[in-house]
Structure 1
Amino acid sequence: MGVSTTNPDRGIALVTVDFPPVNALPVRGWYELADALRAAGHDPAVRCVVLAAAGRGFNAGVDIKELQADTPDRRALIGVNRACAEAFTAVYECEVPVVAAVHGFCLGGGVGLAGNADAIVACDDAVFGLPELDRGALGAATHLARLVPQHLMRTLYYTSRTVAAAELHAHGSVWRVVPCRELPRAALGLARDIARKDGGLLRLAKAAINGIDPVDVRRSYRFEQGFTFEASLGGVADRVRDSFGKPDTSGKEATS
């Protein structure tokens, strides 16, 4: 359990996340992932990183139980905010291209990771979404906006609905959609194509492309997180989290 790095082929680092049962990462898990990505990108022998996950899905976001057990000083919330920001930034600022190999669910923080990747290869069962409003949080609209058009992003965000990998492929944000048994081979195949390029030039290309990005993803995500903290301080986040997974028996429309 945890984050591991292997080298399945020359010039390729495979970073695998494994936090059973659903890859909902605790604070330490996000930091472990950030450290692994930075180390892989800093290795001069690596020209491409593949980010993958073991188990039932790619990523289910943060560990809600860790937030529900938070202390009055909001140490867990602050920790999650900082840790997620570090992991997402580590993907985006990795010195070499990052290919996300997505299977199953890619939710919340998963969208933060995949949205900041350079390329996405997905299993045909993969679904992407931000259930944040159902879980007393906000954030990662920054990254969902990199995957779908603006109005679709807003609709998905407000409804907490998911979108299938096939639709993202139609929008051009997913490179390939393949049967699950072929996902590792397809992701490594794309990584090999990238890793054939000159390593020094790849690093310059990554820096150049990030430099012309129209949105500062680190700043925009941290802006979003401020509203998550505001929701927590105001009590609405705790109220929503405490009701997560419970049926609505009020029979009334929400008014706040």
Structure 2
Amino acid sequence: MGITSTSNGSGVAILTIDYPPVNAFPTAGWFELADAVRTAGRLQSNRAVVIRAENRGFCAGVDIKEIQANPGHQSLIDANRGCADVFSAVYDCQVPVVTAVQGFCLGGGIGIVGNSDIVIASDDATFGLPEVDRGALGAATHLSRLVPQHLMRALFFTARTITASELHHYGSVFQVVPRSELDAAALKVAEEIAAKDGRVIRAAKEALNGIDVQNVHRSYRYEQGFTFELNLAGVADEIRDRFEDDLARKRAAASQEAGSNA
């Protein structure tokens, strides 16, 4: 469980996210993934990185329970710094990063995907930012790399999700495949990149980042400032408490219904 790193022996590092059941990241997990991405990028024998996940979905974002369980703001600060660290590590990785997305990709998952170079998704994948429903902001920077500006705003304000097929229409998802074929499809693209001269690939990654029209690091940290503001005002705690209460009621109702049907 956690973040594991393997190699296919052909210049591709494969990083796997595994925080069952839904890949809600503990604070330490963000930093662990960031370190793994940087390490993989620095290794000269690697010419591409694949980020994939086990479990029901690619990423459910931060572990809200961990934040709520700790008094004060340190857990939130650590989670926000961890997210920024991962997103930066993916964007600045010395070699191209391919993400393989299945099921749901929410919150921090959008930051990982939005800063990746290539996105391969299963046909059951959905993408979204539930931040406004959790009393937080952030990753609109990365969602805006996946969809046009006005659609990004509609998705952000409503907390709706968008499908892999819809993102494929916009060109931000490179390929949509059945879930059973996801890993193979991501690896195939990564191996195609890894077959190139690594010196050229590394130069190309740096060059493309250099001509990017958006400063993703500064933009995301600006968004996070408003998350801190909402927390200092007590708004975020109120909304997160309400969210946890709603979850508890749903679990109790589901348990009661299961007992009735037994």
RMSD over aligned Cα atoms: 0.8
Q: Could you tell me which amino acid in structure 1 is paired with residue 181 of structure 2?
A: E
Aligned residue runs from structure 1 range 1-256, under 5 A: 1-72=1-72, 74-244=73-243, 246=245
What's the TM-score once normalised by structure 2's chain length? 0.93
| Greater CA drift, 141-150 or 237-246 | 237-246
- Structure 2: how far apart are the matches of 1:59 and 1:233? 27
Q: Which runs of 5+ in 2 are unaligned?
A: 247-262
- Structure 2: how far apart are the matches of 1:246 and 1:121? 35
- Structure 2: how far apart are the matches of 1:24 and 1:137? 16
What's the TM-score once normalised by structure 1's chain length? 0.95
- Structure 2: how far apart are the matches of 1:153 and 1:55? 27
Number of the residue aligned with 2:258 = none
Q: Could you tell me which amino acid in structure 2 is paired with residue 22 of structure 1?
A: V
Say if 1:70 and 1:77, in contact at 8 Å, map to a contact too: no
Q: Deviations over 1:118-140 (max 9, x none)?
A: 00000000000000011111000
Q: Deviations over 1:179-212 (max 9, x none)?
A: 0000011000100111111101111100000000
Q: Could you tell me which amino acid in structure 2 is paired with residue 89 of structure 1?
A: S
Q: Could you tell me which amino acid in structure 2 is paired with residue 114 of structure 1?
A: V
Q: Could you tell me which amino acid in structure 2 is paired with residue 174 of structure 1?
A: V
Per-residue deviation, 1:246: 4.6
| Greater CA drift, 88-97 or 6-15 | 6-15
Say if 1:121 and 1:183, in contact at 8 Å, map to a contact too: yes
- Structure 1: how far apart are the matches of 2:87 and 2:18? 17
Q: Deviations over 1:216-237 (max 9, x none)?
A: 1011000000000000000110
User: SS state of the match for residue 137, structure 2?
Assistant: coil
- Structure 2: how far apart are the matches of 1:245 and 1:171? 35
Q: Could you tell me which amino acid in structure 2 is paired with residue 115 of structure 1?
A: G
User: SS state of the match for residue 14, structure 2?
Assistant: strand
Per-residue deviation, 1:65: 0.4
Number of the residue aligned with 1:251 = none
User: SS state of the match for residue 238, structure 2?
Assistant: helix
Per-residue deviation, 1:245: 5.2
* Higher normalized helix content (fraction of residues): 2
- Structure 2: how far apart are the matches of 1:171 and 1:26? 32
User: SS state of the match for residue 13, structure 1?
Assistant: strand
- Structure 2: how far apart are the matches of 1:57 and 1:42? 28
- Structure 2: how far apart are the matches of 1:105 and 1:246? 22
- Structure 2: how far apart are the matches of 1:159 and 1:207? 35
- Structure 1: how far apart are the matches of 2:84 and 2:92? 12
Per-residue deviation, 1:91: 0.4
- Structure 2: how far apart are the matches of 1:238 and 1:27? 18
- Structure 2: how far apart are the matches of 1:8 and 1:60? 27
Moved over 2 A (4+): none
Q: Could you tell me which amino acid in structure 1 is paired with residue 37 of structure 2?
A: L
Q: Could you tell me which amino acid in structure 1 is paired with residue 134 of structure 2?
A: R
Q: Deviations over 1:38-87 (max 9, x none)?
A: 00000000000000011111000000001112322x11011011110001
- Structure 2: how far apart are the matches of 1:8 and 1:124? 25
Number of the residue aligned with 2:251 = none
Number of the residue aligned with 1:252 = none
User: SS state of the match for residue 25, structure 2?
Assistant: coil
Q: Which runs of 5+ in 1 are unaligned?
A: 248-256
Identity level (%): 61
